[in-house]
Chains A and B, each alone.
Chain A
Amino acid sequence: MSDALVTLHDLTVAYERHPAIHHLKGSFAKGGLTAIVGPNGAGKSTLIKTIVGLLSPSQGKVELHGMKAKDAAFLPQSAAIDDTFPISVADVVLMGLWRRVGAFRAIGAKERQIAADALALVGLEGFEGRPFGSLSAGQRQRVLFARLVAADSPLILLDEPFTALDARTTLDLLRLVQGWHEEGRTVIAVLHDFDQVRRFFPETLLLAREIIAWGPTEQALSSDNLRKARAMSEAWDEDAEICAGVVA
């Protein structure tokens, strides 16, 4: 356990008193590249939002080893971002430097250089002055990945990063994720595409409100486990007040 970066201790999170995920136990290893997959409503986003501190556990806890939740670099689902807001590409990427500059410290030449380098890395060199809203969906996602690059965090959490993207952008961004993995960063991503997971993600957590499997991707995504996950999500009673474990 000594090489764990994120440990879930009997983690239960509820929305309006209905548990969305419950009794999750286990660890994400330092430097690991893990996909979180599962049926709709399985609690994937809930888990990632709880790790980053946006949701509070109803029971149990998330333990981060040697870092704070606010030092993680988080990519929300694209629907959570207001892409009509009048903001420049540079300002979006500079948000990634929040740990350095916070709400008040000045942004100087050094910070602008970091943003420019991050944009170059995602293939958007010279896009600093463009309005974010005028970009294509693929370019916008590249900008948000540049924000993650600028954040330079040991833990990167991605909530459905490749939804509705073209194949070329997806592949470029997947290479970037692999680069982070090679640099020893820990990456946890909520994903839907099993082929993508099998090709690029060595570890998988299969979730259906509780852990169905967690380990090397091929084993986690065995047809047995997938069938179990589907059955779990279909058998789920939406109106259950509280799970048996919490009552006990």
Chain B
Amino acid sequence: MTMLYDLLVGPFADFTFMKRGLVACLALALGSGPVGVFLVLRRMSLIGDTMAHSVLPGAAVGFMLAGLSLPAMGLGGFLAGITVALVSGLVTRYTPQKEDASFAAFFMISLALGVLLVSTHGSTVDLMHVLFGTILAVDDSALLLMASVATVSVVVFAIIYRPLVAECFDPAFLRSVGGRGGLVHTLFLVLVVLNMVSGFQALGTLMAVGLMMLPAVAARFWVRQVWSLAGLSVLIAFASGYAGLVLSYRFNLPSGPAIVLTAGGFYLASLLLGPRGGLLSGLSNRRHLAQ
């Protein structure tokens, strides 16, 4: 019993940085869960990845101006991410180029610019920090930012839920009844960028998207309503955060990859066992057909 306590609860009771890490994971899970679900439903899974990379130059500028401060890096990252999203959106609108192509072009420009800025104005350690994050160094201001992003995300989702669902399902219908599909899409992209920024202190720009996408794609193997997908994603994301922290403490692993790999484990288990399209359920259906 004590062993179990030492393993599962002890680190969080004894160390403030572990407690902060856990609260950070809860905040990240609450915001990223629903964002990830809608990215998957809108078939924008990979656009989440490109957005995560495009926040880098902004974060680098923030770092150059204010040092290792999450609010400064966060603001810079947010502005860079939103710029890439809006410019890509404009290119898609005014040229024949599709959204994924213009996103890919602008995120590469943004990423290269970011790496250039960080490597000429900071050390390798800084670059590693921005790319991979350190959840165990989350301070009060970072925690406040993550909690604010989570709150804003939940509130904005509640406000735009109905038009967002209509926009995903039947965009032409929404526009025909005067629903502001473009505005809803833009607000959603703002939420994506906000949650990327919120995640990069903890997990780094490269892996912030992991806690967003993996729980969302895992959840699709278990449930099939939007609200239950969002709820389950939040649960899986938080469980990944908790288990990842425990593993990283116990085996002295970097926390970011430990958390994202745990989420990856949830995904692989769901892929295998999930009742809605999982590999085993597919096998048993085939056997049923054969009989």
Majority SS at the chain B contact face: helix
Residues from chain B with Cβ under 8 Å of A98 in the complex: 166, 177, 179
Q: Are A54 and B176 in contact (CB under 8 A)?
A: yes
What 0/1 readout, one digit per residue, does chain B (34-78) give for beta carbons within 8 Å of chain A? 000000010000000000000000000000000000000000000
What 0/1 readout, one digit per residue, does chain A (33-76) give for beta carbons within 8 Å of chain B? 00000000000000001001110000000000000111010101
Query: B226: which of A53, A82, A86, A147 is its contact (CB, 8 Å)?
Result: A86
Query: A81: which of B160, B169, B229 is its contact (CB, 8 Å)?
Result: B169
Contact A87 to B177, CB < 8 A, known contacts A103-B162, A103-B163: no
Chain A: number of interface residues, binned into ranges = 20 to 34
Q: Are B162 and A54 in contact (CB under 8 A)?
A: no
B225 within 8 A of A: yes
Residues from chain B with Cβ under 8 Å of A72 in the complex: 176
Q: Are A81 and B170 in contact (CB under 8 A)?
A: yes
Residues from chain B with Cβ under 8 Å of A88 in the complex: 225
A87 to B226 Cα, complex, angstroms: 7
Query: A82: which of B170, B176, B178, B179 is its contact (CB, 8 Å)?
Result: B170
A128 within 8 A of B: no
A95 to B179 Cα, complex, angstroms: 11
* A-B contact sample (17 more), CB < 8 A, given A53-B176, A54-B176, A86-B229: A54-B172, A54-B175, A69-B178, A70-B177, A80-B170, A81-B169, A81-B170, A81-B173, A82-B169, A85-B168, A85-B169, A91-B165, A95-B170, A98-B166, A103-B179, A131-B224, A147-B173
Sorted nearest first, the 9 A-B pairs with minimum C-beta distance are A70-B178, A76-B172, A74-B176, A98-B177, A85-B169, A52-B176, A86-B224, A81-B170, A103-B163
Q: Which residues of A contact B (CB under 8 A)?
A: 16, 49, 52-54, 68-70, 72, 74, 76, 80-82, 85-88, 91-92, 95, 98-99, 103-104, 131, 147
Could you list some 30 contacts between A and B, CB below 8 A? A16-B96, A52-B176, A53-B176, A54-B172, A54-B175, A54-B176, A68-B178, A69-B176, A69-B178, A70-B177, A72-B176, A74-B173, A76-B170, A76-B172, A76-B176, A80-B171, A81-B170, A81-B173, A82-B170, A85-B168, A86-B41, A86-B226, A87-B165, A91-B165, A95-B166, A95-B170, A98-B166, A104-B159, A104-B162, A131-B224
